[in-house]
Structure 1
């Protein structure tokens, strides 16, 4: 996880000639620099050829400072993880990361791949979660993009044709951030500095496009028989396990000195399956898996910290501990209760709102609030239901595994059943395609910005490219199970949960985090407030 800031302001322009003092978007104000250092506390540096400022949260040795500059004048700022490469790049990447190779870091590898294969061929062939800014001195071009799903944050400000700024975070000053927008996923941008024109290269499902998505569009078929369903469950478990393994076994602990992993854990179906698969990956490791469960003191509702997600989280933790398939595992689960008093909500309210911008709805704030405090990872830790708790425990894991994406891919929301009732499986397919296609705009950028404030990195096994390809190809009745008036979403996930012995978890219904943790509608006396209302 890293922080990116880039700006171009022509030297001939003074701040006054630009109009609204654009220089305040640069690091002269130090506001954005300070915020970005929270994302990457291990290293930060500035390159003044243009203005490149990067911070680094180092996940493995050796620490590679950014911005990374080559001898040929290329400059790369990279925030993310490259898990794999395909085609011609696969062998070349393996050579770069080999035992005798100089490049031991994804940023250095990506710089070499860009130089040898070009930006477009490289992006077509790599798999991972990223955002980047890349300057090619030879062509005098700036490239930038998020990965095609949009799992990392990147914002852009181009209020004038001759000025541009790119950043992982928005400007902290509300008066300066009106022109900041999220860079859409599914598009790669190339700015020619000689003419200041931007070319947009779009990802496409068609072979004729410059960039082809690494997965097919959603499958409309609904023909399932028992044999094909059993095969599908097996493929589901193996593909998701591979996605978890890519994200768990690439966590290096040379900096934290302890093998600690963490799951954003509400106790629901999606995250409990990830906790189980994480333990399977670590079966032969002496490791700890922290289950981070957040609860809010909500004065409007009362009831203390025994929120629905706290109660469910404890139950699911107990069920995980009792699974026969994990009894011989060397790793253990630790339940971490993160209690957030109302006074801390008030203390951090404006800061969370700054981080989540340009998202500005009441619902966005209640969700961002939950992820903000969950990512901090400070609470009371229980090693077992009968052991004494460890007060003021702080997770050592810099990576947080998230279950985001399961609902959008496997019909987990109530509205998916409503869509089916209105227009059958075709309407369901259209709703699922819409949900998956807007994850980058509705969820991912916001979540990255609030979680990375604590120097933490979210990783999304359900949004792994290979798993997404599998999920989009699944027949629709393996997602939404319909019998008469009864409808059950996430059929495949529930079946797999029963297969491994998570019977209680398999029956749990979807509950949004803001209601499960009670971070929604916390202020009494505000009257009727809808989630879509803007924050005032």
Structure 2
């Protein structure tokens, strides 16, 4: 995880740059990348002054200082994210990018090379567009091609990392992982659209090119590594066992890629955002079985808020469910003899502490401004911080109760985001199915998946990364997305004999297969209600989630 800030100013003396605001942005970027901070400044004739400021949260050896500048060409790369594989025409460059389980030496976890340096090499040798077509991972970047005096930038095709752009002032152009913290100036900052690659000709500051991702392979644009959602309801030729087996193996590989992409020996902890719901419990199962024979620690981060409006203390729905699912995992056949240690970490947030950080959370989640976005962002903000108490621990086959203050050292946060959008986890999906059958369901799912970059991912990245953490999304792995979009709709929603609709059908099948029977029966509960971070002020019950703060 890294922090990116880039600005080009044609007339430095007339620049609207505010030094105080720039410093606040840099401070916020240092929170994202505490291991390294560096600036490169260039002045180009007929262009102006270019400033590249980067911070680094080092996840792979060796620590690569950013902005990364090539020796021969003086091109500059700012890269935020992880590359898990290289496919297509450049697939040979994916060799040894990550180690396979069979290659691990005892407890050693890690990839074979640094991905930022790899991306720079591929950009210079094959060009940006061809390289982006072949990369698989979660990233955002800014790349300066000095010879052609162009700047390229993008989020990955799903949009899993934050990147904002401001081109509102003539003669100025800015990109950043976080927005301006000035309430007036930040109105011109918008999220870079996921699903497009952008290029700016610096000699003509108003000449911006957008290269979109598309499902059409016969195009000069970029081609998605997956197709549009299938409208097929049932598969008459392949049995249920086929889809269950594919689901299991592809999701396991997706989790494995996100677990093994770390090298530092000091990083012996992993963490998962854990509400106890079926999505995160299934991911936790894979996490435990992948790390089964390694002396590592997995922290289960469960957040609860003191909500004066609802009362009830910290025994929130997600707290009760989280404990129950944690205990069920400890008894599951694939987990019971695990060598790794499991910690259930209760993160209790008093009302006064939530209020103390309210302004910061609102700033970080911008350009999202709604009450609902704040409720969700608040929960992610404190869950990602990972400061609480270990109350349950599972080690050497024994489940024990504790009361130990704790702060997770893990820099990796596994998130279950994407399962609802791919497998019909929201009530509106059931409503769409009831209204128009599987065709309407497919339309609703396509809409939700297509706007993840705008509705969820940028916001979650900005608030979670504030603590020097990196969110990783196994359900949004490109291979898993491809399988899920092609999967018949009956494995997403199915009607039972009582005419009730069962969403996330295939995920529930898998949970039952591995012994997670109670988790398999859990219904969807939004994090803001499960953790009680929604509408915490007395008298706020009538406020709508779509209302804005600003």
Give the TM-score category using the shorter length: over 0.9
Q: State whether residues 97 and 109 of structure 1, in contact with CA within 8 Å, keep that contact through their aligned partners in structure 2.
A: no
Q: 1:199 maps to which residue?
A: 209
Deviation at 1:60, TM superposition (A): 1.9
Compared with structure 1, are the counterparts of its residues 434 and 97 closer, same or farther at alpha carbon in structure 2 (3 Å cutoff)? closer
Point out the more displaced range, 205-214 or 77-86. 205-214
When normalised by structure 1's length, the TM-score is 0.95
Deviation at 1:258, TM superposition (A): 4.8
Q: 2:108 maps to which residue?
A: none
- 1:341-420 to structure 2, matched below 5 A, reads 341-381=350-390, 382-384=392-394, 387-420=400-433
SS at structure 2 position matched to 1:221? coil
Root-mean-square deviation over aligned CA pairs = 1.8
Q: State whether residues 264 and 400 of structure 1, in contact with CA within 8 Å, keep that contact through their aligned partners in structure 2.
A: yes
Q: 1:273 maps to which residue?
A: 282
**Distance in 2 separating the partners of 1:43 and 1:329:** 36
1:222 aligns with 2:215: no
Equivalent residues, number = 524
Q: 1:208 maps to which residue?
A: 218
- 1:488-503 to structure 2, matched below 5 A, reads 488-503=502-517
Deviation at 1:36, TM superposition (A): 0.5
Point out the more displaced range, 281-290 or 270-279. 281-290
Deviation at 1:88, TM superposition (A): 3.0
Q: State whether residues 270 and 406 of structure 1, in contact with CA within 8 Å, keep that contact through their aligned partners in structure 2.
A: yes
What are the Cα deviations for residues 506-530 of structure 1, in whole angstroms up to 9, with x where unaligned?
A: 0000000000000001001235111
Compared with structure 1, are the counterparts of its residues 193 and 227 closer, same or farther at alpha carbon in structure 2 (3 Å cutoff)? closer
What are the Cα deviations for residues 241-294 of structure 1, in whole angstroms up to 9, with x where unaligned?
A: 00000000112333xx25211100000000000000001111121111111000
Deviation at 1:163, TM superposition (A): 1.1
Q: 2:6 maps to which residue?
A: 6
When normalised by structure 2's length, the TM-score is 0.93
SS at structure 1 position matched to 2:140? strand
Deviation at 1:139, TM superposition (A): 0.8
Q: State whether residues 262 and 401 of structure 1, in contact with CA within 8 Å, keep that contact through their aligned partners in structure 2.
A: yes
- 1:42-441 to structure 2, matched below 5 A, reads 42-49=35-42, 50-71=50-71, 72-94=73-95, 104-196=113-205, 197-209=207-219, 210-224=221-235, 228-254=239-265, 257-381=266-390, 382-384=392-394, 387-441=400-454
**Distance in 2 separating the partners of 1:535 and 1:368:** 13
**Distance in 1 separating the partners of 2:461 and 2:244:** 31
Gaps of 5+ in 1: none
**Distance in 1 separating the partners of 2:70 and 2:20:** 23
**Distance in 1 separating the partners of 2:547 and 2:143:** 37
Q: State whether residues 93 and 109 of structure 1, in contact with CA within 8 Å, keep that contact through their aligned partners in structure 2.
A: no
What are the Cα deviations for residues 172-196 of structure 1, in whole angstroms up to 9, with x where unaligned?
A: 1212211000001011110011122
Q: State whether residues 310 and 517 of structure 1, in contact with CA within 8 Å, keep that contact through their aligned partners in structure 2.
A: yes
Point out the more displaced range, 28-37 or 168-177. 28-37
Q: State whether residues 35 and 58 of structure 2, in contact with CA within 8 Å, keep that contact through their aligned partners in structure 1.
A: yes
Q: 2:28 maps to which residue?
A: 35
Q: 2:45 maps to which residue?
A: none
Deviation at 1:160, TM superposition (A): 2.7
**Distance in 2 separating the partners of 1:229 and 1:386:** 35
SS at structure 1 position matched to 2:239? helix
Q: State whether residues 87 and 94 of structure 2, in contact with CA within 8 Å, keep that contact through their aligned partners in structure 1.
A: no
- 1:451-490 to structure 2, matched below 5 A, reads 451-483=464-496, 485-490=499-504
Deviation at 1:121, TM superposition (A): 0.5
